[in-house]
Structure 1
Amino acid sequence: MTPPAWNDPKLKAGTMVRGALWLVQVIGEGKTFTKDQIRNAFPGISQADRRIRDLRDYGWVILTNSDDATLVAEDQRFVKAGVPVWDPVARRAAAPQKTTSNKEKQAVMARDDYMCSVCGISGGESYVDDSNQTAVLSVTRRETVLPDGRERTFLVTECKRCRAGNGGDPARADEALADIRALDPDDQRRLRRWIERGRRGSTALDRAWNAYRRLPSDARDEVRTALES
């Protein structure tokens, strides 16, 4: 996988990934860099230096003056690159694994109302587009980029199909917030009401469409015929 440019505005990645690319493409192995350089490279990103230090969990060798007496307090040395974290597959395979207890799993599923946090299907429920397949839920770890650029991993409830389809890309709270702020004031107020209720509001048209979609294929044919007559 060819690494993207660290400062590509189209790059959908968190500070840790962009920091890794910056180290490789700007600093170079064996060279030193300072916190000022990090601040200049990632303006407005709080704790960008910490996100770069997180690369150590992926085999990157980055030394401070506590590791190398020749360095001053402000300097760090990029010794060696590790896992190419800009590759979602490689990053996911190398991510530090933590054991999730059954108690934690049950608490996460209860918090998510025993529904997939991506598509909203319940465990054992048939998919609308494939009535022969039922949802199997599990608790997984989802990398997430927060609005301030921090990267965190959260436990979420996902069905098997959504888990297989996410491609390893992080959830983007920063992009979600930007999309919300781009809405006009009326739509923002409507969305805030949905957020407060914990569910989307629906119109009579929405409810009729959802009721129609839940019907078996033959029953949908009967409805279409009745509407055409």
Structure 2
Amino acid sequence: MTLPRWDDPALKAGTMIKGALWLVAEVGEGGIFTKEQVRQAFPGVSQADRRIRDLRDYGWVIHTNTDDASLGPGEQRLVKVGIPVWDSNARREAAITTISAKQRQATLAADNYQCANCGIAGGEPYPESPHQTAVLSVTKRRVARPDGTDTEQPLTLCKLCRAGTERLDHADLGQLLADIRNLDQVDQDRIRRWMRRGRRGATPLDRAWTAYRRMPAEAKEEIARDLGIA
């Protein structure tokens, strides 16, 4: 299918659609662009950069230097092209699953402004990549109910977890309930406590390991000798 030209004077479309076509034609996936380039491409158009950012609601992945430390101030990278917004049918279908601003805020609050997958909070640096800080967004996950029906429900994910959501696309509520009921009574009581608190409680083993991990190397060696490890 031949795409419309983003700069075709005859194209009757808004800035977001023209911006999407410009990204595909002039930047491409993996390419870097700047706010100045956006201004030059759409002279006299106010908030053209914001219309570009609106593409994220349609599955377009666009990173700034808060997501990717290799980018400079004002630089953005087109990581992934999402829904072809220039196609009215595709845009209309996408609108059915678009999350409203009110729903987005309610979901962030319900998830305690933390990633539902890894637990990192917005703005917090990743332990394995301290130069990267978490940026939270709200997406939808398909949930299979025990009665056989499916529903799409919103949840909070950080950008890194959202980039690998293949394993998060579908949740089986019935299977999870069965797994919980199959736990022994001690573990069932424990997971109920975690659910009431909204977080996992640390076990004595967790606390001991965390305390050991934070010890200086010399102290760790002393502990290992005392326990007969070294």
User: What TM-score, normalized by structure 2, do the two folds share?
Assistant: 0.50
